[in-house]
Structure 1
Amino acid sequence: MTDLPIPDLPVPDWQTISQIPIHESAEAFQAISLSPKIRTWPAYFKMGIAHTMPECYIREGVYQRLLEATRYLPDHLTLVVLDGWRPFKVQQFLYETFLALLSEAQPDWDEAQRIAQARQLVSPPSIDPKAPSPHVTGGSIDVTLMDADGCLLNMGTLFDEASPLAFSAAFEGRDDLTATQQEARDHRRLLYHAMRQAGFTNLPTEWWHYDYGNQMWAWHRLEAGEINAESAQAHYGVSHPHTLEYMWRSQLGLPH
């Protein structure tokens, strides 16, 4: 799969994405650390960010497709999950922090410019039932690869790096790549094609971000001509892993 380039895909049209209907499947969540085939490294929890969790949760359908993706990788490589379902407060923190840093770094930009730039890395926090942030649905996942020794592969940038090189296809169509960049390009291709074969779509501004079942996934499929506008719909809306507090709140009729 290292011979197959990553296509240069369009940046999401957030207005159109927000209008795709959601028919919630009520699918349960799966704790990824239970899998013997996938490793987890909950990056934001390891960073000490408030309200994060020491586990990576995703919808069961996402989990099954993630297992499928492992079958398309070379035997010596393993998928590593960095983030899955994300609490609203964490989404809010990430977005507001990056937006504030953009205001400091680009004081001449207007608000629209800063928001457009921020959305390439972090979606605005939303638990609107009709237009939720992708990660709060349990349908988005951030992944990378590691070798048999537990070393993360060179992917060209760090996870969540705010750089044009973080675009999935940043190393495609170039004849001036260094050996290190060629290696990163090939690793990205392995990850991309394994995930795509399993039914995921990729956010083109982030080599690590993949979607299944949410509005972002439906929009990418629509853009690729895999479905038509009449059949475009998402399966996952705002949801929450069934933690003890969540269960008790549900049983007591309290808001989640």
Structure 2
Amino acid sequence: MHEPNRAIPAYAEPDWAQVARIPVAECGEALCSLRLAPALRVYPAYRHLGIPEAVEDCLVRREVFERLLRAAAHLPAGLALVVLDGWRPIAVQQHLYRTLETAMALHHPQADAATLQRLTRQFVSPPSRDPQAPSPHLTGGAVDVTLCDVQGRWLDMGSRFDEVGPRSFSAHYESAAADDAAALAIRDRRRLLHDAMLEAGFANLPSEWWHYDYGDQLWAWHRGRPAALYGPTAPPSLEDLWRQQLAERFADPT
């Protein structure tokens, strides 16, 4: 049951060094397409923004799919869950990180490399396919979500998706003034989303109200789990599928 007055805690930024040390016990779940799920609204944001090599669907691990359905069912009548991004190709991760780091450098000309990395990492993880320390979206366990009404009108969540600034922090509107009706409405929408996603087993990245994790190292860090379930993955190519089928067909029964 949703508690409309449950505040979003102002969690500290993850300790990224500790996150990267959490072991990955890859469970082998496949990626699934969300495009045909009637309970979800799917809008692959980076494809619509024209980011090179962005996929035209939102792909997630099978268990993440099931938990998104649970989160959608937890929302009040009249609201729907919009999925903006899931699994992300390494080329897209590289593009996002490089673009934001360049913008940060222009905005903070005196910042050293470590400071630029810290400022950039609040909103985009460094690209990594390392099996023991992958970027969250490369695992298929990280998702970006928002809310819309039943007609598909997006709700005002207080900042744009991927906005780099204090308004994007999940708990930003928890300090809204009692007489600021617009800010209080945004606070309550964020609470609705946060509550639905956490009830479904996800963990939230504190610097991004839209970013949630299940099964990856960030999820394990937030939830105190001994290991992550998902390492880096990718959709199988047609060649991979043919090889698998032929291997199964001609496997030695002995």
Query: TM-score, structure 1 length as denominator?
Result: 0.91
Indicate the residue corresponding to 1:121 in structure 2. Answer: 123
For residues 209-248 of structure 1, the C-alpha deviation after alignment (integer angstroms, 9 at most, x for no partner) is 00000000000012xxxx5xxxx10000010123436546
The whole-number CA distance in structure 2 between the counterparts of 1:128 and 1:42 is 25
For residues 25-77 of structure 1, the C-alpha deviation after alignment (integer angstroms, 9 at most, x for no partner) is 00011101120100100000001110111100000010001101112101210
Task: Check whether the contact 2:176–2:184 (CA below 8 A) recurs between aligned residues.
Answer: no
For residues 99-143 of structure 1, the C-alpha deviation after alignment (integer angstroms, 9 at most, x for no partner) is 011111110111111110000000000001110000000000000
Within the candidate set 236, 245, 248, 1:242 is matched to 236
Indicate the residue corresponding to 1:189 in structure 2. Answer: 191
Indicate the residue corresponding to 1:36 in structure 2. Answer: 38
For residues 155-190 of structure 1, the C-alpha deviation after alignment (integer angstroms, 9 at most, x for no partner) is 000000011010000011343663221111110000
| Superposed CA RMSD | 1.7
Q: Give the alignment of 1:66-85 within 5 angstroms.
A: 66-85=68-87
Task: Check whether the contact 1:218–1:233 (CA below 8 A) recurs between aligned residues.
Answer: yes
Within the candidate set 85, 88, 97, 2:99 is matched to 97
Indicate the residue corresponding to 1:178 in structure 2. Answer: 180
Judge which range, 100-109 or 235-244, deviates more.
235-244
The residue matched to 1:82 in structure 2 has which SS? strand
Taking every aligned residue pair, what percent have the same amino acid on both sides? 49
Q: Give the alignment of 1:83-232 within 5 angstroms.
A: 83-175=85-177, 178-222=180-224, 227=225, 232=226
Q: Give the alignment of 1:15-54 within 5 angstroms.
A: 15-54=17-56
TM-aligned CA deviation for residue 13 of structure 1: 0.7
Task: Check whether the contact 1:171–1:177 (CA below 8 A) recurs between aligned residues.
Answer: no
The whole-number CA distance in structure 1 between the counterparts of 2:61 and 2:79 is 23
What is the letter of the counterpart of residue 180 of structure 1?
A
Any stretches of 5+ residues in structure 2 without a counterpart? 247-254
What is the letter of the counterpart of residue 107 of structure 1?
P
Query: TM-score, structure 2 length as denominator?
Result: 0.92
The whole-number CA distance in structure 2 between the counterparts of 1:8 and 1:153 is 22
Distance 1:153 1:119, change over 3 A: same
Task: Check whether the contact 2:31–2:60 (CA below 8 A) recurs between aligned residues.
Answer: yes
Distance 1:164 1:248, change over 3 A: farther
The whole-number CA distance in structure 2 between the counterparts of 1:245 and 1:18 is 32
The whole-number CA distance in structure 1 between the counterparts of 2:192 and 2:239 is 39
Paired positions, count: 245
TM-aligned CA deviation for residue 2 of structure 1: 2.4
Distance 1:186 1:114, change over 3 A: same
Distance 1:45 1:250, change over 3 A: farther
Distance 1:19 1:181, change over 3 A: same
What is the letter of the counterpart of residue 55 of structure 1?
D
Q: Which structure has the greater CA radius of gyration?
A: 2
The residue matched to 1:190 in structure 2 has which SS? helix
The residue matched to 1:34 in structure 2 has which SS? coil
1:63 aligns with 2:65: yes
Any stretches of 5+ residues in structure 1 without a counterpart? none
